[in-house]
Chain A
Amino acid sequence: MKIHRKDLGLLVLILVVGAVVAFINPRFLSPVNLSNTSNLIGLFGLFALAQAFVIISGGIELSVGSIIALLGVIFVDLIASTGVPWAAAVVIVIALGCLMGLVHGFLIAKVGLQPFVVTLCGLLIYRGVARYYTDDATAGFPFGASFPTLEWLTTGRFYGIPHSLIAFAMATIIMGVVLHRSVFGRYLYAVGKNEEAARYSGICTPCITISAYVICCGLTAVAAIFIAMYTRSISPSSHGNFYELYAIAAAVLGGCSLRGGEGSTLGVVLGTVLLQVLQNLVNLLGIPSSLNFAVMGSVILIGVLADQQFSRARMLAKRKKALGGPGLPSAAVVQEREHA
């Protein structure tokens, strides 16, 4: 995988922030803290990765948090109350996620509604359904209920590494290959960058868009299962709140453009890690947790600003090298040069 300058910058930022936090509070590097943080990275990374697919296709998925709540509630209810074998419940929940993606994708690509609107409605609908489904009560496992295999799979550790992180790593590798190596991935970038040109090249653009939403919601369903097993009890009015924004923030930090056609899996991984390190920083440095969002928002803003300034400076330097003067941004000048 090609490492972009952007990703490198993000990596440096993570290391610097990590070093500072470790310096101020050595507990940052304690095994317990590292293990907890990496568990959260795994959980949040799964649906951030999912979000990236949709963002690269030029869309957005706002219902991530509500999907996590609704599918979490359904999953817990299926295995705890109705006695469905957990493996079957996993399949059902992922299938439901894919179905949601299919509906979103259809409404966007075939009916022609705007992604923001469709998924905003999804956000409201799924949240409402989740609350109705449980009568607004907390869904959880009855006393004594135990699913050793499932629990080991989702919340277990392998030499101290949480399985959620391993799942995230596996998903990253698979999705990385899909995005950066496969025909579908190339089409996804093409549709995100210039849907019309993709259509003029004979690409079934609605198929690509719909697939992006199916992958997004399917992978979010996987995340929903991991998260449900991690929290073990789900209060449907608050479970997963704002998770779509974490996902979008991680993707954007990682270099995805909301205009579509840009972004990489590595970037999303780094974006997720940075967000979780920041969360951890708030906890460890004794910053009032009410400031949590403010810290995150500020860092994202600074990151995006810095990136823009750097890339502008790079562009100018490049142009100066090409033109040898403070030439105004003009494609025609470049064009003329190439001809002459």
Chain B
Amino acid sequence: MSSKSLTLNNISKRFGNVTALDNFNLEVGVGELVALLGPSGCGKTTALRVVAGLEHQDKGTVLVAEKNISDVPAHKRNMGMVFQAYSLFPNLTVEENVAFGLQMRKVNKSVRLKKAHQLLDLVGLDSQSKRFTHQLSGGQQQRVALARALAFEPEILLLDEPLSALDAQVRVNLREEIRRLQLSLGTTTLFVTHDQEEAMAISDRVGVMNQGVLEQIDTPDALYNKPTSSFVAGFVGTMNRIPAQISDGMVEIFGSKVVALKRGNESGQVVALIRPESISVIANSSQPNAKVLTRSFMGASSNIICQTGDGTIVQSLMTSASTGELHPGSSVQLRVLSSEVLVANV
């Protein structure tokens, strides 16, 4: 296995007046798949391009297996890269595309074609090897791009939003395929995406970026359940932001007191951050504190949107079986199910 670890130390990069990366640090272990997630313009693609050598950082170092490659040109970095779309060479057949990296490494023709067929077989496209890329669907083209990036056994695999141009169903299938291949080949992978579901579904760890810095990097579970900043809490999954009063480490929400997990202000007005699945909506209560606005049926679960007396909109996710009596307009009682909630300053 040729896979190596990747370290980015204090990388900064500016484009004119815009700071794309600001003292950015990241470590990716051998064989690990790390996703960089964030809104557009957060610097995630710049980070990936700095690793690839397609962009040069203003300061900081890039290390692969502890070796400083900061000044190594892109074509000598041995990194496989998959782009958003349209990156295949239109003048080459599918197998020639996949063998391209090996051709550049002066591997002889029979060996490189054999390797290309192995990779095409892995992505399920060996039967298409003689076709030209414009004869393939978008999903197939990205599979070829993936095979091309892996054919020369790169030390690091870089994925730059490889699924964003594809249809929903193809997207889900291909992301599973990327994960399966990545696990079986053990290739260290850095995956840039703005789609949190995608990032959460296939990554070992997800780094959430905002304005050129890494806000938090953690397992998908921890990121969802224990966000360390209000940005991460708001960006990953849906989060209710409910105004509340804090005193002595407790916040009062919907009439009951809950432990505040991360304190902002010690006392006074704060915002409690609560996931929709942590809020229960009770019909026919003797102490109603909200009104149902809408109920959207989504199969096993239903999404209930309510409005409290002070006008706050609250979203709740409940199993559909328990929402039969929640009709728009009906008075209901909201209750927080968790015993601890995250708190942020207003």
Q: Are A and B physically bound partners?
A: no
Chain B interface residues (CB < 8 Å from chain A): none
Chain A residues within 8 Å of B, Cβ to Cβ:
none
